[in-house]
Amino acid sequence: MSQTPIRILLADDHQVVRRGLRAYLELEPDVIVVGEAADGADAYDQFLSLLPDVLLLDLHMQPVDGIACLQRIRADHPSARIIALTSYVDASHVVPAVQAGAAGYILKTADPADLLGAIRKVVSGRTAFDPDAMGALADGLHHKSLIATLTERELEVLRLLARGKSNQDIAKELYIGLKTVKSHVSNILAKLQVNDRTQAAVYALHQGLD
Amino acid sequence: MKRQTVSSQLLTAHLLTGGAGFLTGVLSLQVMESDGPTWAAMLARSVGLSLPLAKGSVIVLFVLIVLIALSLFVLWIGLQRTTEFRSRLSLLADASAAYAAGRLQHQLLLPGEDDVALIATHVSSMVATIQDQVRTLQETAANLNARQRDLEIQATVKERERVQRELHDRVSQDLFGLSMLCNAANMQREKKPELALALLPELSELSRRTQASMRSLLLELRPMQLGEQTLVSALKGLTSELAERTGLQITASFSCWDGAAEAQLPQGVEDALFLIAQEAVLNALRHSGGTRIHVALYCERGRAVLSVTDDGAGFAEPPSQTGGSHHYTSVGLRSMSERAQLVGGTLGIQSGQEHGTEVLTIIPLIGE
């Protein structure tokens, strides 16, 4: 193959993951792993200096996480090709990643060959989203629309509820009566189509509401 | 003033009846000294005084009769008053019996100015106070229950998140790396077998690490309640199970528990001690790096003492304790300390660099 190799930057806070990825990807004659970063800030810096063809980006990193890194890179380089490579496949991860301009979303449970296929697709200007991630995205947009039916007040109550506050606490915090809180809560349950406040709290957390 | 009314009335009635009786006696003696039967004597006989009467003692006899009538009247008045007093007292008794039986809504109405009315007023206001207190108590209990439920929900949500995070952040990452390496080795098997072989030690090490992180996650997914077990058997189970799983020397000792006469601690104290012991042992396993952990529980008159010691690295600076209340920055330490405080106890940590750590919990026991 005479074409120019694909230059890849790896960003993951687990050394084991970086090791495995590098060992696997470098078996491809046309792939070079040009750098490894252990957190979002590191990945941003390395991206600017290396300008790789594609960045494989873990979303959960400390102190700067993948989403923040994705946003910053895309703000500076709108043409940057970035694949989110993560073990999370819920709406609170997929939706912001897609919104920030990820060109791909691949799960760490994916077949290695699929990962390679995704990298090639993304480098050639297309997108590569895991079917589960697409499902979560659709789900997330649907739930966003459910959450959009809540009033401002109900949203406030839901936020407090998700933090584990009792009805009494919520009443105190929002300066409203206990009965009012109870009616807000039952409206929230009905609108979000859940059975109890725990589900509502989990729901809110999953939607990244905080 | 009022309080004297009843007793003075009773005294008057008593004196009057007593005085009348005395006068009757004296006069009868005087009558005995006179002679000759008269109409008065017959009268006297008809009222039961079969005594010989002298002539001209009619006046005396008349006075006597008047006095008897008077004393009978006074006696009747006294009886009336006593009966009324007793019926008021029995109303009071009925009411107090009702209150003692818990029927606080029983109405006690005893109008008047006397001591009984006064007692009734005081009892009524006492009962009203008790009713208020019962109401407050029930409201507090209801609030407490609601709070408890919320806390449990909160704990469940947090626990689920934590387990999910742990699975994703540790186990799943290791497995991903492992699978990538395996694939790399597999693909090189034919072209460059020596490279594939070179990856084997790394693969073996990585699978061992993955197993270890899985095991430590399982360690943390332990029951949070004593359930049907006694504290002693639960602690024995905890230490022997963890010793088996980790291969470390984790032991427990108990004093004052001698099997037959197992000291019974209040349920709340047992639960708190179990959770503290569990958290302290897991902390020691996670952070101390030591090879020996010992749980000692002993109870003596008036207190139960739990000590969890390890021979690990210890803290350079023990978590700060200011004044009487402890301010621990770590969530685990804070929750242990709070559990001790909830049952009226204290939790302290003694540690020094390279000197291991002791978590010491002392809970006062209130006798029956």
B206-246 tens-digit pLDDT:
888 888 778 777 776 766 667 778 888 889 988 998 888 88
Token code pair at residue B292: 């020996």
Q: In Å, how far are A63, A128, B213 from A210, measured between CA atoms? A: 19, 30, 30
CA angle, residues B287, B290, B291, in degrees to nearest 5: 135
Q: Which of A92-96, B112-116, B330-334 has the lowest mean pLDDT?
A: B330-334
Q: Establish if B94 touches chain A: CB-CB under 8 angstroms.
A: no
Q: How far apart are CA B183 and CA B227, in angstroms?
A: 47
C-beta atoms of B176 and A27 within 8 A: no
Query: Mean pLDDT across the stretch B178-183?
Result: 90
pLDDT at B322: 41
pLDDT above 90 for A45: yes
Res. B285 pLDDT band, cuts 50 70 90: confident
Question: Which residues of chain B have a CB within 8 Å of the CB of A14?
Answer: 173-174, 177
CB contact under 8 A, B179 and A112: yes
Sequence letter at residue B261: A
Which residue in A23, A168, A201 is closest to B181 by CB distance?
A: A23
Q: What is the DSSP string of A93-105?
A: HHHHHHHTT-SEE
**Contact call for A16 and B184, based on CB within 8 A:** no
More confident residue, A179 or B11: A179
Q: Which two tokens stand for residue B334?
A: 């804070």
**pLDDT of res. B329:** 53
Q: Is B176 on the interface with A (CB under 8 A)?
A: yes
Four-residue CA torsion sign, B301, B302, B304, B307:
negative
**DSSP state, A176?**
-
Written as one string, the DSSP assignment of B80-98 is HHHHHHHHHHHHHHHHHHH
DSSP 8-state class, residue B318? P
Nearest Cα to A58, choosing from A29, A27, A20?
Answer: A20
pLDDT for residue A98 is more than 90? yes
In this prediction the ipTM stands at 0.71
Burial profile A18-32: b = 16 or more Cβ within 10 angstroms, e = fewer: bbbbbbbbebbeebb
Of the candidates B306, B264, B288, the residue with the CA atom closest to the CA atom of residue B355:
B288
d(CA B298, CA B308): 12
Stretch (H or E) spanning B252:
strand B249-255
Up-side HSE of residue B195: CA atoms within 13 Å toward CB?
16
Supply B250's token pair. 């984790």
Q: How far apart are alpha carbons B278 and B359 in whole angstroms?
A: 11
| 8-state DSSP, A4 | P
Give yes or no for A197 touching B (CB within 8 A).
Answer: yes
Of B157, B158, B177, the CB nearest to A17: B177
**Which residues is A84 bridged to in the sheet?**
A57, A105
Say whether pLDDT at B157 is over 80. no
Q: Determine the pLDDT at residue A164.
A: 82
State how far the Cα of B315 lies from the Cα of B139, in Å rounded to an integer: 45
pTM check: above 0.90? no
Higher pLDDT, B170 or A10: A10
Dmax (CA) of chain A: 73
**Residue whose structure tokens are 């005479």:** A2
User: Residue A193 has what DSSP assignment?
Assistant: T
Return phi, psi of residue A111, to 5°.
-65, 135
Q: How far is A127 from A137, CA to CA, in rounded Å?
A: 15
CA distance A155 to A204: 10
Residue B105 has pLDDT above 60, yes or no: yes
Checking if the pLDDT of A174 tops 60, the result is yes
**Is the distance from CB of B60 to CB of B30 less than 8 angstroms?**
yes
Rounded-to-10 torsion of CA B171, B174, B179, B185: -150
Is A17 an 8 Å CB contact of chain B? yes
Q: Write the Ramachandran bin of A109: left for phi over 0, alpha for psi from -120 to 50, otherwise beta.
A: alpha
Q: What is the mean pLDDT of residues A156-171?
A: 89
Say whether pLDDT at A201 is over 90: no
> Closest Cα partner for B43 from B29, B33, B53, B35?
B53
How much is the average pLDDT of B279-289? Answer: 85
Average pLDDT rounded to a whole number, residues B292-311: 89
B77-86 mean pLDDT: 91
Instruction: Please say whether the beta carbons of B161 and A186 come within 8 A.
Output: no
Task: Give the mean pLDDT of A30-57.
Answer: 95
Does the pLDDT of residue B298 top 90, yes or no? no
Q: Who among B147, B169, B180 is closest to A23 (CB)? A: B180
pLDDT interval class at B262 (50, 70, 90)? low
Query: Could you tell me the CA-to-CA distances from A31 to A8, A43, A120, B199, B225 in Å, in that order?
Result: 7, 19, 10, 20, 54
Picking from A48, A114, A52, the residue whose alpha carbon sits closest to that of residue A85 is A114
The H or E element that residue B296 is part of is: strand B292-300
CA distance B186 to B199: 10
Helix (H) or strand (E) holding A64: none
Structure confidence by residue, pLDDT tens digits, A19-38 = 999 999 998 999 999 999 99
As a whole-number percent, the residues of chain A with pLDDT over 90 amount to 59
Top-confidence residue, A77 or B29? A77
Which residue of chain A comes nearest to B153, CA vs CA?
A198
Cis peptide before A63 (omega within 30 of 0): yes
pLDDT, position A210: 56
